[in-house]
Amino acid sequence: MTRREFLQLLALSGFGLVAPAGMLKGEGTGKKTPKKWAMVVDIFKCAKKEGCTECIEACHRIHNVPNIPDAGRQITWIWTSPFDALFPEQPAYVEALRGRQIMALCNHCENPPCVAVCPTKATFKRDDGIVMMDYHRCIGCRYCMAACPYGARSFNWQDPRPFIHAIDKGYPTRTKGVVEKCNFCDERLARGLVPACVDACKGTCLAFGDLNDEQSAVRRLLGSRPAMQRKPELGTRPKVFYLLA
Amino acid sequence: MIEKALKGGKGYRAWLLFLLAVAAAGFLSYLHQWSHGLSITGLSRSVSWGLYIANFTFFVGVAASAVTVVLPYYLHSVKEFGKITILGEFLAVPAVIMSLLFIIVDLGRPDRAFNLILYPSPQSLLFWDMIALNGYLLLNLFIGWSTLDAEVKDEKPLPWVRFLILLSLPWAVSIHTVTAFIYQGLVARPLWHTPLWAPRFLASAFASGPALLILMSLLIRRITRFDPGCGAIQKVATIATYALLVNIFLLLVELFTTLYGGVPGDVVHLRYLFLGIDGHHALVPWMWLSMVLIGGSAGALLTARLRRREGVLALICAAIIVGVWIDKGLGLVVPGFIPSPLGEITEYGPTLPEVLITTGIWAFGVLIITLLYRIAIYVKLQEAE
């Protein structure tokens, strides 16, 4: 066999291996549209429930979020902020809602700046739009915390376990030195349940669903009522919507 | 050559012992941080970067400033820099090492640092910073060592060392540009999200780095027989002067754009820095001190009578270093976080353990520069004889 013949044989065998693999991949990406999870918050209903923390308690309980006494080092997957702090660029609404506490959480942006800056891809966006955290890969550089325009991320400045009231065995606890945030209850979604916060709010202020499904609660709400997002001008395309009226 | 660094008189050994002691204190403090987590620092959910990252930013600048002596000497044959160039190159080495150490002590899980290599993330500036800094470290170590080695053996340096030297020039600019991009790319932080930081970083680096080099040179002339040369020192001072003026200009450009435009989200960070907000003014005295030091140094450098007196020059250089360190370190990192994206003001102040770790890294850097300079000076003095 000449060298030329050998090289041609090699090329053909290579092609023979690659082509069926390519066809198999084609089989995998079928016609199913991926989900695009989103949440809708009714601002006025949430603002009316003064002092209510049901969504926060439910979330923090099932996710083993510690209760850190130091206010500057708290870990919050969901929290409440005054309306003017969440929407500083909307002064027109301030009078009606000034100082009223509204819930806020990770917006699971379509174009997440936190994912862009992570040097190990410990935070990443899934196909269904959820911005996930890999607690095992995070090196605790906190670049994602600097990059998040919404204050949604928290860091474990010490070992969180002594500060967890009652450990829920259904979800891992974290170690010191890693970042964490809301995960849209991906572990509940996998079992066909809605996120714990939506469940705890008992159908009043929060709706959750698939933006790609025209019949979903979120699509119907967004199609019929005006809504806004936090800091839309930044181009992050958040998927938590706040109903205006 | 290395054995030269370890032999010396009583004074030399006492100096090394002192540095090791400070470094050891820092290391012990770091062990404390390793076991308790970063809760021993003054950092918080709002201000998640502080003294460590401030120092990282400053020392990357010092490392990049080696280009201010390397470029004139190798590209433009400024013969006067013949003795000072090796000092500049060997200043870059501990500066980069310190920058890397400051990143490592800032990590929550440094035991996972290898993930940076296992999962390369080219969309992240920290990934590129890791590559740029480590590459620059290797470049400068190799260039410095091989040029010294060639002098010891009385030979010409290997031909491809010149290629590496030329490579180190844009590489020096790139390490500090990448560092600036870490901040500049974040839409979340209005104080950082401006194109001006990369040029400002380089300008302040080319002022503070040469200032440090001048201080080192004056000190070396005093305690050894090695003299980098009055002419070289004055030329480096000239470079620092122009760089400082550019830095001041860029600061004024920044102030005008922000204050004249008056967008509240942009102005509030500067107001916090220079005036304080609602009784929160921890950084105000530091910032004004920094402005006085930088402005005063610029004025003094422009006055030939002051610049030419080396005692005064040393003071000016110290003022530049402190002024730029405050401006670029604390004055950049901390106010980027204040107020937070939710409008909250949480102030930051380093804790004692944090300061001990910082001074420990400084001591380690000074230790390395002591050893490297001792070798370099020995070789240069041998060559002169």
Residue indicated by tokens 């693999």:
A21
The pLDDT value given to residue A92: 66
Domain that holds residue B227: 3-384
The CATH number assigned to the domain holding B168 equals: 1.20.1630.10
Strands (E), A96-167: 101-105, 123-125, 131-133, 154-155
pLDDT at A91 over 70: no
Rounded-to-integer distance, Cα B233 and Cα B379, Å: 20
Closest CA to B108 of A180, A11, A84: A180
How confident is the model over B168-196, as pLDDT tens digits? 999 999 999 999 999 999 999 999 999 99
| B78-94: average pLDDT | 93
How confident is the model over A134-152, as pLDDT tens digits? 999 999 999 999 999 999 9
- Measured between CB atoms, does B383 come within 8 Å of chain A? no
Distance of CA B329 to the CA centre of its chain: 10
| B303-309: average pLDDT | 91
Rounded-to-integer distance, Cα A181 and Cα A183, Å: 6
- CA-based diameter of chain B, in Å? 66
A-chain CB neighbours of B41 within 8 Å are: 157
Confidence band (pLDDT; 50, 70, 90) for B372?
very high
Rounded-to-integer distance, Cα A210 and Cα A215, Å: 9
Rounded-to-integer distance, Cα B351 and Cα B331, Å: 18
Rounded-to-integer distance, Cα B353 and Cα B277, Å: 28
Confidence band (pLDDT; 50, 70, 90) for B4?
confident
pLDDT at A26 over 80: no
What average pLDDT does the structure give for chain A? 91
Residue indicated by tokens 């002594």:
A162
The pLDDT value given to residue A93: 64
The pLDDT value given to residue A10: 87
Give how many domains chain B has, as a whole number.
1
- Measured between CB atoms, does B117 come within 8 Å of chain A? no
Helical segments of B262-341, H only:
264-274, 284-302, 304-307, 310-325, 331-336
How confident is the model over B185-224, as pLDDT tens digits? 999 999 999 999 999 999 999 999 999 999 999 999 999 9
The reply to whether CATH 3.40.50.300 applies to domain A37-243 is no
Q: Which residue of B has its CA nearest to A87?
A: B342
Of B4-8, B314-318, B362-366, least confident by mean pLDDT is: B4-8
pLDDT at A28 over 60: no
Cβ–Cβ gap A146/B346 under 8 Å = no
Residue indicated by tokens 């941080």:
B33
Measure CB to CB from residue B44 to each of A73, A143, A158 and give the nearest one.
Answer: A73
The pLDDT value given to residue B111: 96
Domain boundaries, chain A: 37-243
How confident is the model over A196-215, as pLDDT tens digits? 999 999 878 999 999 999 99
163-192 of B, contacting A, C-beta below 8 A: 182, 185-189
Cβ–Cβ gap B107/A149 under 8 Å = no
Rounded-to-integer distance, Cα A171 and Cα A47, Å: 30
First to last CA, chain B: 17
